[in-house]
Protein backbone atom coordinates (compact mmCIF):
# COMPACT_ATOMS: atom_id res chain seq x y z
CA UNK A 1 0.00 0.00 0.00
CA UNK A 2 1.43 3.37 -0.96
CA UNK A 3 1.46 6.48 1.16
CA UNK A 4 -1.40 8.99 0.60
CA UNK A 5 -0.41 12.04 -1.41
CA UNK A 6 -1.71 14.49 1.16
CA UNK A 7 -3.83 16.25 -1.44
CA UNK A 8 -5.64 15.82 -4.74
CA UNK A 9 -4.33 12.44 -5.97
CA UNK A 10 -4.98 9.02 -4.44
CA UNK A 11 -1.34 8.36 -3.53
CA UNK A 12 2.24 9.38 -4.31
CA UNK A 13 2.48 6.93 -7.20
CA UNK A 14 -0.27 8.87 -9.02
CA UNK A 15 1.52 12.17 -8.38
CA UNK A 16 4.80 10.82 -9.74
CA UNK A 17 3.14 9.71 -12.99
CA UNK A 18 2.72 13.40 -13.90
CA UNK A 19 6.44 14.12 -13.46
CA UNK A 20 7.74 11.58 -15.96
CA UNK A 21 9.99 13.31 -18.53
CA UNK A 22 8.61 11.38 -21.53
CA UNK A 23 5.06 12.75 -21.20
CA UNK A 24 3.52 14.96 -23.87
CA UNK A 25 3.38 18.38 -22.16
CA UNK A 26 -0.06 19.43 -20.95
CA UNK A 27 -1.94 16.43 -22.38
CA UNK A 28 -4.09 14.26 -20.12
CA UNK A 29 -6.41 11.84 -21.91
CA UNK A 30 -9.83 12.31 -20.36
CA UNK A 31 -12.53 9.86 -19.42
CA UNK A 32 -15.45 11.55 -21.18
CA UNK A 33 -19.02 11.10 -20.07
CA UNK A 34 -21.20 11.35 -23.13
CA UNK A 35 -24.65 12.94 -23.13
CA UNK A 36 -24.08 15.28 -20.18
CA UNK A 37 -26.98 17.78 -20.08
CA UNK A 38 -24.51 20.47 -18.98
CA UNK A 39 -23.19 20.45 -22.56
CA UNK A 40 -26.56 21.33 -24.14
CA UNK A 41 -28.52 23.34 -21.55
CA UNK A 42 -28.38 27.13 -21.40
CA UNK A 43 -26.79 28.50 -18.24
CA UNK A 44 -26.79 31.97 -16.75
CA UNK A 45 -24.76 33.70 -14.05
CA UNK A 46 -26.68 34.34 -10.83
CA UNK A 47 -24.40 37.02 -9.42
CA UNK A 48 -25.93 39.31 -6.78
CA UNK A 49 -29.35 37.60 -6.87
CA UNK A 50 -29.40 36.45 -3.26
CA UNK A 51 -30.36 32.88 -2.47
CA UNK A 52 -32.79 32.41 -5.37
CA UNK A 53 -33.12 33.29 -9.03
CA UNK A 54 -36.15 34.24 -11.13
CA UNK A 55 -36.91 33.79 -14.81
CA UNK A 56 -39.89 33.93 -17.13
CA UNK A 57 -41.47 30.88 -18.70
CA UNK A 58 -43.72 31.26 -21.70
CA UNK A 59 -47.37 30.90 -20.67
CA UNK A 60 -49.75 31.57 -23.50
CA UNK A 61 -47.78 32.02 -26.70
CA UNK A 62 -48.85 33.64 -29.94
CA UNK A 63 -49.44 30.41 -31.85
CA UNK A 64 -53.20 30.74 -31.43
CA UNK A 65 -53.11 34.22 -32.97
CA UNK A 66 -51.79 33.01 -36.31
CA UNK A 67 -54.56 33.56 -38.84
CA UNK A 68 -55.10 32.81 -42.49
CA UNK A 69 -55.76 35.69 -44.85
CA UNK A 70 -56.58 35.94 -48.51
CA UNK A 71 -54.96 38.30 -50.98
CA UNK A 72 -56.23 41.82 -50.28
CA UNK A 73 -57.81 40.72 -47.00
CA UNK A 74 -57.98 42.85 -43.87
CA UNK A 75 -55.45 42.12 -41.09
CA UNK A 76 -56.18 42.62 -37.42
CA UNK A 77 -53.98 43.00 -34.38
CA UNK A 78 -54.00 40.44 -31.59
CA UNK A 79 -52.75 40.34 -28.00
CA UNK A 80 -52.39 37.07 -26.11
CA UNK A 81 -48.82 36.39 -24.97
CA UNK A 82 -48.41 35.75 -21.24
CA UNK A 83 -45.51 34.82 -18.98
CA UNK A 84 -45.28 32.78 -15.81
CA UNK A 85 -42.73 34.04 -13.28
CA UNK A 86 -40.62 31.13 -12.00
CA UNK A 87 -38.27 31.00 -9.02
CA UNK A 88 -35.80 28.46 -7.69
CA UNK A 89 -33.38 28.39 -4.80
CA UNK A 90 -29.75 28.50 -5.81
CA UNK A 91 -27.66 25.45 -4.94
CA UNK A 92 -23.89 25.28 -4.50
CA UNK A 93 -21.68 22.34 -5.45
CA UNK A 94 -17.97 22.31 -4.74
CA UNK A 95 -14.89 20.18 -4.49
CA UNK A 96 -12.06 21.15 -2.17
CA UNK A 97 -8.51 19.91 -2.57
CA UNK A 98 -5.29 20.80 -0.89
CA UNK A 99 -2.10 21.00 -2.87
CA UNK A 100 0.23 18.03 -2.32
CA UNK A 101 3.33 18.93 -0.34
CA UNK A 102 5.36 15.83 -1.09
CA UNK A 103 6.53 16.57 -4.64
CA UNK A 104 7.47 20.28 -4.89
CA UNK A 105 9.44 19.62 -8.10
CA UNK A 106 6.14 19.02 -9.91
CA UNK A 107 5.19 22.70 -9.67
CA UNK A 108 7.80 23.61 -12.27
CA UNK A 109 7.38 20.67 -14.67
CA UNK A 110 5.71 20.89 -18.06
CA UNK A 111 2.59 19.32 -16.50
CA UNK A 112 1.75 22.14 -14.10
CA UNK A 113 0.51 20.52 -10.91
CA UNK A 114 -1.90 23.28 -9.91
CA UNK A 115 -3.39 23.48 -13.41
CA UNK A 116 -3.96 19.69 -13.52
CA UNK A 117 -5.72 19.79 -10.15
CA UNK A 118 -8.02 22.65 -11.20
CA UNK A 119 -8.85 20.94 -14.51
CA UNK A 120 -9.67 17.68 -12.67
CA UNK A 121 -11.89 19.55 -10.22
CA UNK A 122 -13.77 21.33 -13.03
CA UNK A 123 -14.35 18.05 -14.91
CA UNK A 124 -15.65 16.40 -11.72
CA UNK A 125 -18.04 19.26 -10.96
CA UNK A 126 -19.31 19.32 -14.56
CA UNK A 127 -19.97 15.57 -14.58
CA UNK A 128 -21.67 15.70 -11.17
CA UNK A 129 -23.79 18.70 -12.24
CA UNK A 130 -25.03 16.64 -15.21
CA UNK A 131 -26.11 13.85 -12.86
CA UNK A 132 -27.78 16.37 -10.54
CA UNK A 133 -29.70 17.97 -13.43
CA UNK A 134 -31.27 14.57 -14.10
CA UNK A 135 -31.45 12.77 -10.75
CA UNK A 136 -31.56 15.30 -7.88
CA UNK A 137 -34.83 15.36 -5.96
CA UNK A 138 -35.52 18.00 -3.31
CA UNK A 139 -38.24 15.79 -1.76
CA UNK A 140 -35.83 13.15 -0.44
CA UNK A 141 -33.07 15.48 0.81
CA UNK A 142 -33.41 16.09 4.57
CA UNK A 143 -30.99 19.04 4.42
CA UNK A 144 -32.72 20.53 1.35
CA UNK A 145 -29.40 21.02 -0.45
CA UNK A 146 -30.41 19.22 -3.64
CA UNK A 147 -32.19 20.87 -6.53
CA UNK A 148 -35.14 19.35 -8.35
CA UNK A 149 -33.79 17.57 -11.37
CA UNK A 150 -35.67 16.25 -14.37
CA UNK A 151 -36.22 12.97 -12.49
CA UNK A 152 -38.26 14.86 -9.83
CA UNK A 153 -40.51 16.38 -12.48
CA UNK A 154 -41.49 12.99 -13.93
* Helix, coil or strand: residue 55: strand
Check if the beta carbon of residue 117 is closer than 8 Å to that of residue 26.
no
- Nearest-Å Rg of the Cα atoms of the chain is 25
Q: What is the pTM of this model?
A: 0.59
Print pLDDT tens along the chain (154 aa): 566 666 777 787 777 777 766 666 666 666 666 778 888 877 777 778 788 888 888 888 888 899 999 999 999 998 888 888 988 888 888 888 877 665 666 555 556 777 778 888 888 888 898 888 888 888 888 888 888 888 777 6
| Cα maximum dimension of the chain | 86
Q: How far apart are CA 81 and CA 78, in angstroms?
A: 9
Nearest to 15 by CA among 95, 114, 96: 114
In this prediction, residue 69 carries a pLDDT of: 94
Amino acid sequence: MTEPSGGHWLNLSEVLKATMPTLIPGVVDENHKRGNPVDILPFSQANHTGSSIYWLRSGQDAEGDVANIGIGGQTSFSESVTFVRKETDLKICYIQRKLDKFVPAMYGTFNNYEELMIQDAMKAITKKAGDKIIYDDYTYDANKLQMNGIHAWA
